[in-house]
Amino acid sequence: MRRFAVTAVATLGLAACTTFEGSVDNPVERSLTWFSYVAGDDIRAACSTNSPDQYRFVYNAVYERQIRAYDLHLSADGADQTSRTRNRAGNVANFQFRSPLGPWELRRSDAKLTNVELAAILNGLQGDVAAAPASAGQRLRSNKFYWAVAACQAGKFRLHAFEQDQVEIKSLAFRAPLLAHDMTEIEFLEAKQIEGFSDNAFEIRINRTGDGIVG
């Protein structure tokens, strides 16, 4: 238990002083800014009454096994969706000397969503948020399955959490219409019940106001 406490505090401390500003596609930068990326710090910084709405859906399927991330940038005629996925340890077949970190990079696909397709995702999210427990104060463990959604909507920023012990994670309404535009060709890892807390796991704690991560 003591080893976990030290590891968690150290990792969160690193996240607190390393803010995501660039590209999560780079595995080195991702390792240093992952907490900030999940928290949507960049979305919150840009969120204002004059900014377009923006959403980031992150799926943690036991961090060491799979992570998936979906960024939605809204426009007048729908949205641009960027999908990113990464499986356990990556595919070593992708190794090249000019890109030695290739096997650990996120696979990416881009799609253009119509207003109808976008509405299916956002209406689903709205219903899921209304049905789920409040996100404020929740603890999201890396060796569990959860979704974290950072959202700037009408100039207001929120961070929503859907953890497998809190909701029926396989039944979230936003999931199917969101995944319909994921062309990364990496199979979705369904949630399984995980017991205990592994030594190398870490924890993300959402603050009491529900608009950020405690670091």
In terms of DSSP H, where are the helices of the chain? 2-16, 27-39, 41-46, 115-131, 175-179
pLDDT digits (tens, 9 = 90+) for 34-44: 888 899 999 99
Confidence (pTM): 0.82
In a domain, 176, yes or no: yes
| pLDDT confidence of residue 35 | 85
| pLDDT confidence of residue 198 | 72
Q: What's the structural domain count of the chain?
A: 1
pLDDT digits (tens, 9 = 90+) for 108-118: 999 999 999 99
DSSP, residue by residue, 185-207: -----------S--TT--EEEB-
Q: Would you call 165 helix, strand, or coil by DSSP?
A: coil
In a domain, 56, yes or no: yes
In a domain, 212, yes or no: no
pLDDT digits (tens, 9 = 90+) for 14-33: 333 456 555 555 555 555 67
In whole angstroms, give the CA distance from residue 15 to residue 34.
7
In a domain, 211, yes or no: no
In whole angstroms, give the CA distance from residue 58 to residue 80.
16
| pLDDT confidence of residue 27 | 55
Q: What single-letter DSSP state applies at residue 37? A: H
In whole angstroms, give the CA distance from residue 71 to residue 83.
7
pLDDT digits (tens, 9 = 90+) for 117-146: 999 999 999 999 999 999 999 999 999 999
* Type of residue at 23: S
In a domain, 185, yes or no: yes
Q: What single-letter DSSP state applies at residue 99? A: B
Q: What single-letter DSSP state applies at residue 95? A: -
What integer is the mean pLDDT of 164-186? 96
In a domain, 178, yes or no: yes
In a domain, 214, yes or no: no
Q: Which residues contact 59 (CB under 8 A, 6 or more apart)?
A: 66, 67, 68, 69, 145, 146, 147
Closest CA to 176 of 132, 126, 117, 131: 117
In whole angstroms, give the CA distance from residue 55 to residue 43.
8
| Structure tokens, 147 | 């979704």
pLDDT digits (tens, 9 = 90+) for 70-108: 999 999 999 999 999 988 754 444 434 444 334 446 789
User: Which residue range(s) make up the domain with 117?
Assistant: 2-205
| pLDDT confidence of residue 29 | 54
